[in-house]
Amino acid sequence: MAARRERGMVTAEAAIVIPLLLLVAVVCGWVVAIGAAQVRVIDAAREGARLAGRGEPPAVVEAAIERAGPDGTTAQVSPGADTVTVHVTAQIEPGAPLLDLLPAVTLDSSATSVLEAPDG
Write out pLDDT tens, residues 79-120. Answer: 989 999 999 999 998 877 667 777 889 999 999 999 987 765
**Displacement of CA 43 from its chain's centroid (Å):** 11
Element (H, E) at 113: strand 105-114
Nearest to 84 by CA among 61, 63, 53: 53
Distance CA 38, CA 8 (A): 46
Q: What is the pLDDT of residues 25-60, one digit of tens each?
A: 888 888 898 999 999 999 999 999 999 999 999 999
Q: Which amino acid is at 102?
A: L
pTM for this model (two decimals): 0.81
